[in-house]
Amino acid sequence: MTATIALVDDDRNILTSVSIALQTEGFVTRVYSDGEVALKAFAENPPDLAVLDIKMPRMDGLELLRRLREKSRLPVIFLTSKDDELDEALGLAMGADDYIAKPFSQRLLIARIRAILRRAEPAQAGEPGSPEGSPQAVLERGRLAMDPARHKVTWNGENVTLTVTEFLILETLASRPGIVKTRNQLMDAAYQDDIYVDDRTIDSHIKRLRRKFRQVDKEFDAIETLYGAGYRFSDE
């Protein structure tokens, strides 16, 4: 099935050029120059992935993402101003799957979109009614349960909603509890297409993971930091 990509940016030139590039690659595109209009459209007919500019009038990309994350785990890529680390950190902390700094290569954006869509496929394939979906074993580690087929995570029986990237990072850590995973190993698990991301991206996703679990358990400490080495999951 052809993936639908939503583009939200108040720069008409970017909307036009990126939309044409994506359509050339076989994607269906929807374009919005207003965050409020996009939010309403997503509720009525969600795309497969959204590319959001952060700096927009009325409703900016950060607010749009915040509102989206109240009800959806729609994969999101942020477009940020060059060298604006605060925007990048905020976007990742709020649940974006990735970010790209302007000015950006359309080729890089398309590669990132394809990578995130591929990472989302296992959860979609396992949904009921999918003839191609095959059951995947539920991963249980202490109070954690992860169901890859349904993209479902629980802690102490309470649901924890994760983005695709967060799910893959946690799954990599929990699959071998007690074993330290370096940032490079976590990047390889979450970004499997030789796409460069820096250490700050992984650190931001880890912070977001901890924050989400602490919303259901204030004492959550299963994701441990080994300074200078990486991260590990403890199921004790």
Domain spans in the chain, listed from the N-terminal domain onward: 4-122, 139-233
If DSSP codes are grouped into helix, strand and coil, which group holds residue 236? coil
* Residue 18 burial class via C-beta count within 10 angstroms: exposed 0-12, middle 13-18, buried 19 and up: buried
The model's pTM is 0.61
In whole angstroms, what is the distance from residue 101 CA to residue 79 CA? 6
Fold of the domain built from segment(s) 139-233: Arc Repressor Mutant, subunit A (1.10.10)
Q: Do the first three CATH levels of 4-122 and 139-233 match, i.e. the same topology?
A: no
Model pLDDT, residue 48: 94
CA dihedral of residues 121, 126, 131, 134 (deg, nearest 10): 110
User: What is the predicted pLDDT for the residue at 133?
Assistant: 41
Strands lying side by side in the sheet with 98-101: 28-32, 4-8, 49-53, 76-80, 98-101
**Rounded-to-integer distance, Cα 16 and Cα 185, Å:** 37
- Return the CATH architecture of domain 4-122: 3-Layer(aba) Sandwich (3.40)
Query: Quick one: which of 198, 192, 18 has its CA closest to 105?
Result: 18
Low-confidence ranges of the chain (pLDDT < 70): 1, 82-91, 93, 121-136, 191-199
Question: What's residue 128's pLDDT?
Answer: 38
Residue whose tokens read 């699959």:
175
